[in-house]
């Protein structure tokens, strides 16, 4: 029994009846009273047991009601006014009143007019649930389970009343959200009211067209799926359209103009632009489907309700097989960026369909670039040229991806429009001044939050000038950002790196026919050139291959081959470091694909020893340290990492996250400001936190191979940012991994 006293439900249709049934099932209140105009409805509700008492007019029970009781108005939108008038006449002011109407602005205005002010105990609400069935007979106690109820409190509301209404909905299993009244009506106009307008209109059009007399006989699944909602209660929906007239008209106008535009494209047979509309829509719908299944975390909405994905890994095992891990993340980002800025078409194979690279892809779609795919790693980008991007209609959301945000900021600095870059909770804590400051030196105004944190607002439209920039840290993202801005800057843009960093941007610019100069550690571009669309074959990502390289290196009896892996000299720190530790690792079938060297990497088990990691290898293995520290934990003796302070500003502070996890698994280690010391030993079982960092999660997964007990890794949803099929491949090569969602 919760704290709910009596609940009176005025209107015993599907919505009211289901609330009554749900409250009964939960035993959530002292008494449920139903009010229905028709005596038969009252009898039916009593017979079904959804209410304890049923009356035909609220005045019959008004004298029983007092403080803490709730009256829920569940009648069609345009009838709410009449009910509110009845309530005002007979209900004491300390009774809480709430409603379920689909439009909130009209109810707010009616309530205010009837009472002469907005009563503190009147809480507006809207359960987002229903079905095509109606009437008390259709009542379903589980209708609200895991459904959303939007409460739209007014400033005049008493906080206790709002809490009581929330508690009532939570008691029947609903998830309660809050919104402003006007926002609610605008959002619902687009997401619910407009689809109903279109469905009713389409069926009406087809049903009345004499040529289509037989339409329903021949109509296939598409028609059925699309028009399901045209079977909803016609009068209820008529009332909703009238009550939310302004917002509905705005939504219809926007849709009509887009439909006319699509008509013109079909008329002109403009295949590319039609592809643009359909691919954008398909991508958005696929993402929505995933969101509903809680598979992706990466839209802003999803981010707040991220599913807790937990990996449980059984100890022991052997790593065997021949596998190809997904495409390189850095190259995937750049292929979309340069493909979009090129003239002509770019075909990409081996594209990484992970959340980070998809965020970049979506950002360019949002700027009007037509992109086909990804379809099993194949993407076709219809380039718009260096000056062809369009202002996006909202902020560009790049999820967890630092590479997207930093590289995009360079491109956006050169555009004529203002843009905003936003990201998820983790990205919103990462430093952006490292790109914003040199871009400011080039002449663009950039606003960030305090200490250079995202969102970044980039005020394009200023003339950029080339600069000579000495990078204070070894960062490929900063270098790439400035080179990309340099494509738009007057004169030459020169970046000096303190140590070599990955050079995919330079290689790919050349692949697109753009001249890039390098002398020693200085790289430069001049504006005025153009990019020409090309074909790109993306090698497998050495950073993803690393988890299985280390897995085989630590696990007796292992022998694995990772095929078609990119072995760009600026990325092979992991190979060098593992070899220094004594790993039995060979590069086979070395070749060059589309300007990038690749090889099959074979790793067989051999005992590892602890080493002092050479500092010149640090930038060349910057993403591989979480996994390498697992190798260190399994090596004999001490491994010392220095010169790696950059690890502290990755998706999480990777030094701290690894130190905490290793300590939890019984390994002696000590973090230092710029690195860590790990003493090899016996890993125990235990629970570790990934800190929502994909690479930490995967590293502790492979640690279980050498642990004495099972390892549980918490918060692994972000593995999909870089390695969407990690779990399948891990199982394929011999890791016993269970995934649970909380
Ligand atoms: C990347 C550069 C590196 C790396 C990141 C990808 C790139 O970041 O850690 O995962 O694609 O340019 P920094 O530039 O911050 O070192």
Helix/strand/coil for 417? coil
Ligand 1 neighbourhood includes 694 CB (under 6 angstroms): no
What integer pLDDT is reported at residue 594 of this predicted model? Answer: 83
As a whole number of Å, the CA-based R_g of the chain is 30
What integer pLDDT is reported at residue 135 of this predicted model? Answer: 87
pLDDT digits (tens, 9 = 90+) for 501-516: 999 999 999 999 999 9
pLDDT digits (tens, 9 = 90+) for 427-483: 999 999 999 999 999 999 999 999 999 999 999 999 999 999 999 999 999 999 999
Q: Is residue 307 predicted with pLDDT exceeding 70?
A: no
Percent of the chain with pLDDT over 90: 89
Distance (angstroms) between ligand 1 centre and the Cα of 705 equals 28
Closest C-alpha to ligand 1, atom 5: 403
- Per-residue pLDDT band at 304 (split at 50, 70, 90): very low
What integer pLDDT is reported at residue 670 of this predicted model? Answer: 98
What integer pLDDT is reported at residue 538 of this predicted model? Answer: 98
Nearest atom within ligand 1 for CA of residue 480? 12
What integer pLDDT is reported at residue 293 of this predicted model? Answer: 62
What integer pLDDT is reported at residue 247 of this predicted model? Answer: 97
> Residue length, the chain?
742
pLDDT digits (tens, 9 = 90+) for 323-380: 999 999 999 999 999 999 999 999 999 999 999 999 999 999 999 999 999 999 999 9
Ligand 1 neighbourhood includes 184 CB (under 6 angstroms): no
460 and 411 Cβ atoms separated by less than 8 Å: no
Distance (angstroms) between ligand 1 centre and the Cα of 493 equals 20
Give the residue from 305, 310, 352 showing the smallest Cα distance to 331: 352
Across residues 417-431, what is the average pLDDT? Answer: 95
pLDDT digits (tens, 9 = 90+) for 52-77: 999 999 999 999 999 999 999 999 88
- Per-residue pLDDT band at 211 (split at 50, 70, 90): low
Across residues 475-498, what is the average pLDDT? Answer: 98
**Dmax over Cα atoms in the chain, in whole Å?**
90
Ligand 1 neighbourhood includes 476 CB (under 6 angstroms): yes
pLDDT digits (tens, 9 = 90+) for 661-678: 999 999 999 999 999 999
Distance (angstroms) between ligand 1 centre and the Cα of 303 equals 23
CA 645 to mean position of chain CA atoms: 29
What integer pLDDT is reported at residue 3 of this predicted model? Answer: 62
Distance (angstroms) between ligand 1 centre and the Cα of 480 equals 10
Ligand 1 neighbourhood includes 475 CB (under 6 angstroms): yes
Closest C-alpha to ligand 1, atom 9: 623
- How many Cα atoms within 13 Å fall on the side-chain side of residue 139? 29
Ligand 1 neighbourhood includes 502 CB (under 6 angstroms): yes
Which sequence positions are flagged as catalytic?
A: 623
Across residues 633-639, what is the average pLDDT? Answer: 98
Q: Is residue 281 predicted with pLDDT exceeding 70?
A: yes
Nearest atom within ligand 1 for CA of residue 473? 16
Distance (angstroms) between ligand 1 centre and the Cα of 416 equals 27
Ligand 1 neighbourhood includes 360 CB (under 6 angstroms): no
Cα separation of 243 and 226, whole Å?
A: 25
Ligand 1 neighbourhood includes 622 CB (under 6 angstroms): yes
Provide the b/e sequence for 719-737 (b: ≥16 CB within 10 Å). bbbbbbbbbebbeebbbeb
Q: Which domains does the chain have, with CATH numbers?
A: 4-179 (3.40.50.720), 186-269 (1.10.3660.10), 309-323+539-741 (3.65.10.10), 329-537 (3.65.10.10)
Distance (angstroms) between ligand 1 centre and the Cα of 403 equals 6
pLDDT digits (tens, 9 = 90+) for 456-469: 999 999 999 999 99
Ligand 1 neighbourhood includes 645 CB (under 6 angstroms): no
Give the residue from 647, 706, 638 showing the smallest Cα distance to 669: 638
Supply 535's token pair: 């074909």
Helix/strand/coil for 502? coil
Distance (angstroms) between ligand 1 centre and the Cα of 319 equals 28
For residue 569, with 0-12 CB atoms within 10 Å meaning exposed, 13-18 middle and 19 or more buried, which class applies? exposed
What integer pLDDT is reported at residue 306 of this predicted model? Answer: 53
Q: Is residue 221 predicted with pLDDT exceeding 80?
A: no
Provide the b/e sequence for 414-440 (b: ≥16 CB within 10 Å). bbeeebbbbbbebbebbbbebbbebbe
The beta strand positions in 238-369, using DSSP E, are: 309-313, 320-323, 343-349
pLDDT digits (tens, 9 = 90+) for 74-98: 998 889 999 999 999 999 999 999 9
* Predicted TM-score (pTM) of this structure: 0.82
56 and 10 Cβ atoms separated by less than 8 Å: no
Cα separation of 469 and 484, whole Å?
A: 14
- Per-residue pLDDT band at 736 (split at 50, 70, 90): very high
Mutational pocket test of ligand 1: of 502, 543, 651, the residue with most ligand atoms within 8 Å of the beta carbon: 502
Q: Is residue 300 predicted with pLDDT exceeding 50?
A: no
Nearest atom within ligand 1 for CA of residue 334? 11
What integer pLDDT is reported at residue 302 of this predicted model? Answer: 38
Q: What mean pLDDT is reported for the chain?
A: 94
Closest C-alpha to ligand 1, atom 13: 475
Backbone angles phi, psi at 551, to 5 degrees: -55, -45
- How many Cα atoms within 13 Å fall on the side-chain side of residue 696? 30
Token match 């079938």: residue?
Answer: 589
- Per-residue pLDDT band at 206 (split at 50, 70, 90): confident
């Amino acid at each position: 029994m919760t704290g709910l006293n009596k609940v009176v439900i005025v209107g015993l249709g599907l919505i009211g009846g289901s609330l009554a049934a749900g409250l009964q099932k939960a035993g959530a209140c002292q008494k449920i009273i139903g009010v229905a105009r028709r005596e038969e409805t009252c009898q039916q509700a009593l017979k079904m047991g959804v209410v304890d008492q049923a009356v035909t007019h609220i005045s019959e029970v008004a004298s029983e009601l007092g403080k803490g009781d709730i009256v829920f108005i569940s009648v069609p939108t345009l009838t709410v006014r009449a009910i509110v008038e009845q309530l005002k006449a007979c209900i004491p002011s300390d009774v809480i009143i709430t409603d379920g109407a689909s439009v909130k602005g009209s109810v707010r205005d009616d309530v205010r007019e009837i009472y002469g002010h907005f009563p503190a105990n009147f809480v507006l609400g809207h359960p987002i649930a229903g079905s095509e069935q109606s009437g008390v007979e259709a009542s379903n106690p589980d209708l609200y389970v895991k459904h959303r109820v939007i409460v739209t409190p007014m400033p005049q509301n008493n906080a206790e009343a709002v809490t009581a209404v929330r508690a009532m909905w939570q008691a029947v299993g609903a998830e309660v959200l809050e919104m402003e009244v006007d926002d609610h009506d605008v959002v619902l106009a687009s997401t619910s009211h407009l689809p109903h307008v279109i469905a009713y209109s389409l069926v009406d059009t087809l049903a009345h067209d004499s040529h289509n007399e037989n339409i329903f006989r021949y109509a296939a699944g598409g028609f059925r799926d699309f028009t399901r909602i045209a079977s909803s209660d016609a009068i209820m929906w008529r009332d909703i359209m009238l009550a939310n007239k302004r917002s509905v008209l705005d939504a219809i106008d926007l849709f009509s103009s887009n439909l006319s535009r699509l008509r013109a494209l079909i008329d002109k047979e403009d295949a590319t632009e039609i592809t643009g509309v359909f691919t954008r829509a398909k991508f958005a719908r696929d993402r929505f489907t995933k969101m509903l299944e809680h598979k992706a975390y990466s839209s802003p909405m999803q981010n707040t309700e991220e599913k807790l994905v937990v990996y449980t890994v059984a100890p022991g095992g052997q790593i065997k097989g021949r596998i190809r891990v997904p495409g390189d993340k850095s190259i995937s980002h750049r292929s979309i960026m340069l493909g979009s800025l090129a003239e002509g078409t770019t075909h990409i194979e081996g594209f990484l369909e992970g959340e980070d690279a998809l965020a970049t892809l979506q950002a360019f779609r949002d700027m009007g670039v037509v992109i086909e795919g990804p379809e099993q790693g194949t993407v076709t980008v219809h380039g718009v040229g260096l000056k062809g991007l369009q202002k996006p209609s909202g902020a560009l959301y790049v999820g967890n991806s630092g590479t997207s945000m930093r590289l995009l900021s360079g491109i956006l600095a050169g555009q004529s429009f203002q843009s905003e870059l936003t990201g998820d909770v983790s990205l919103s804590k990462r430093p952006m001044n490292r790109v914003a400051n040199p871009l400011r030196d080039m002449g663009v105004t950039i606003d960030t939050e305090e200490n250079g944190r995202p969102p970044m607002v980039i005020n394009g439209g200023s003339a950029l000038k080339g600069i000579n920039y000495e990078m204070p840290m070894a960062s490929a993202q900063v270098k790439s950002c400035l080179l990309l801005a340099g494509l738009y800057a007057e004169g030459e843009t020169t970046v000096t790196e303190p140590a070599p960093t990955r050079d995919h941007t330079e290689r790919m610019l050349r692949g697109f026919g753009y001249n890039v100069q390098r002398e020693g550690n200085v790289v430069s571009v001049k504006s005025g050139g153009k990019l020409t669309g090309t074909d790109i074959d993306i090698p497998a990502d050495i950073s993803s291959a690393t988890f299985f390289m280390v897995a085989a290196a630590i696990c007796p009896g292992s022998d694995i081959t990772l095929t078609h892996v990119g072995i760009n000299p600026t990325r092979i720190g992991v190979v060098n470091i593992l070899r220094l530790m004594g790993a039995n690792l060979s590069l086979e079938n070395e070749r060059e694909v589309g300007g990038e060297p690749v090889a099959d990497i074979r790793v067989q088990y051999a005992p590892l020893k602890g080493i002092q990691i050479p500092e010149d290898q640090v930038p060349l293995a910057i993403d591989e340290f979480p996994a390498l520290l697992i190798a260190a934990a399994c090596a004999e003796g001490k491994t010392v990492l220095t010169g790696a302070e950059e690890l502290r500003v990755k998706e999480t502070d990777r030094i701290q996250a690894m130190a905490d996890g290793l300590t939890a698994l019984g390994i002696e280690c000590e973090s230092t400001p710029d690195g860590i010391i790990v003493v090899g030993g016996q890993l125990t079982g235990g629970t570790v936190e990934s800190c929502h960092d994909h690479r930490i999660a995967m590293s502790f997964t492979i640690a279980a191979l050498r642990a004495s007990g099972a390892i549980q890794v918490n918060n692994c949803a972000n593995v999909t940012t870089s390695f969407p099929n990690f779990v399948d491949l891990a199982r394929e090569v011999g890791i016993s991994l269970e995934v649970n969602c909380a």
